[in-house]
Chain A
Amino acid sequence: MAGRAPYVELHAHSAFSFLDGASTPRELARTAAELGHTAFALTDHDGVWGSMEFVGACKELEDCGEGELRAITGAELTVELSEAQSAAPYAHLALLVEDASGYRNLCRLLTAAHAHTRDGAQRSGGQPSVTLEQVEEHAAGLVCLSGCAGAGMLAAAWERGDAAGGARAARRLLGAFGRERFRIELQRPFWRRDRARNRWLAGLAGRLGVPAVATGNVHSHGGRERARLQDALVAIRLGMTLEESEPLRRGNRSSTLASPRKMAERFADHPDAVAETLRLAERLEFDLSRELGYRYPREEDPGADRELAELCRTLLASRYPARSPHRPEAEAQLEKELATIRALGLSGFFLLHHDLLELAREVALEVRGRDSARAALPPGRGRGSSVSSVVCYLTGLSHIDPIANNLNSSRFLNEEVGKTVGATMPDIDLDFPRDIREALIPRVHERYGVDRSALVAAFPTYRPRGAVRDLGKALGLPQEEIEKVAGMVGFHERRGEIAKDVLAAIGPERVASPRWQALLSLCKEMMGLPRHPSQHSGGMVISTRPLIDVCPVVPTAMEGRQIVQWDKDSCNDAGFLKIDLLGLGMLSAVERCVEEVGRTRGESLDLSRIPYDDERTFESIRAAETTGVFQIESRAQMSMLPRTRPETLDDLTVQVALVRPGPIQGGAVHPYIERLKQRRADPEGFEAPCEHPLLAPVLRDTLGTIVFQEQVIEVAIALAGFSAAAADSLRRAMSRKRSAEAMRGHHDRFVAGAGSKGVPVAVAERVWEQIQGFSGFGFPKAHSAAFGLLAYQSAWLRIHRAPEFLCGLLNEQPMGFYPPDALVHEAQRRGVQVVGPDANRSRVLCHVEPIEGELSVRIGLGYVKGVRSEEMEGLLAERERSGDYAGVADLASRSGTGRDGLERLAWAGALDDLIQHRRRAESVSICHGFGPSAPAPGSAAGWVGRREALWEAGGAGIGEGVQMALPLEPPRPPQLKPLSDWERLIADYRSFGITLDAHPLGLMRDDLEQGIRSSAELEREENGATVAVAGFVVARQRPQTANGVVFMLLEDELGTVNLVVPPPVYERCRAAVRAAPLVRAGGRLERHEGTTNVVVSAVAELSIPKDSAQREHGADGAPGQPSSARPAKPRKRGASRQPLREHAVAELRAVAPDAHSWGRRR
Chain B
Amino acid sequence: MSPGLRRLYVPRSARVEADEGGRPTTVDGAPVEAVREEWVVEDRWWTPHPLGRHYFELALADGRNLVVFRSIASGRWYRQRG
Contacts and interface: CB of A to CB of B under 8 A. Distances in A.
B42 A195 contact: no
Interface string A238-254: 00001000100101111
B2 to A, nearest CB: 25
A196 interface: yes
A599 interface: no
A228 B45 contact: yes
A192 B37 contact: yes
A192 B35 CA distance: 12
B41 to A, nearest CB: 6
B41 A514 contact: no
Given A192-B37, A193-B37, A195-B36, A515 B42 contact: no
Contact of A246 (B37, B43, B55, B57): B43
Contacts of B36: 195
A196 B43 contact: no
A514 B38 contact: no
B3 interface: no
B74 interface: no
B30 interface: no
How many interface residues does chain A have, given as a range?
20 to 34
A252 B42 contact: yes
B40 A190 contact: yes
Nearest to B48: A514
A475 interface: yes
Interface in A879-931: none
A228 B47 CA distance: 13
A190 B38 contact: yes
A216 to B, nearest CB: 15
Contacts of B46: 228, 242, 475, 514-515, 518
Contacts of A137: none
B42 A251 contact: yes
B9 interface: no
A1021 interface: no
A194 interface: yes
Interface in B24-82: 36-43, 45-48, 55, 57
A191 interface: yes
A228 B52 CA distance: 13
Contacts of B48: 514
A857 B1 CA distance: 71
Contact of A251 (B38, B41, B57): B41
Nearest to A474: B46
B9 to A, nearest CB: 15
Interface string A175-203: 00000000000000011111110000000
B37 A514 contact: no
Most chain A CB inside 10 Å of its own CB: which residue of B36, B40, B48: B40
Contact of B40 (A193, A228, A252, A515): A252
Given A475-B46, A518-B46, A195 B41 contact: no
A739 B39 CA distance: 43
A253 B48 CA distance: 19
Contacts of A190: 38-40
A28 to B, nearest CB: 21
A191 B40 CA distance: 7
Interface string A215-229: 000000000000110
A572 B75 CA distance: 52
Contacts of A249: 43
Contact of B43 (A192, A251, A254, A514): A251
A254 B40 contact: yes
28 contacts: A190-B38, A190-B39, A192-B37, A192-B39, A194-B37, A194-B38, A194-B39, A195-B36, A195-B38, A196-B37, A228-B45, A231-B43, A231-B45, A242-B46, A246-B43, A249-B43, A251-B40, A251-B43, A252-B39, A252-B40, A252-B41, A252-B43, A253-B40, A254-B40, A475-B46, A514-B46, A515-B47, A518-B45
Given A195-B36, A228-B46, 7 more contacts: A190-B40, A192-B57, A194-B39, A252-B39, A514-B47, A514-B48, A518-B46
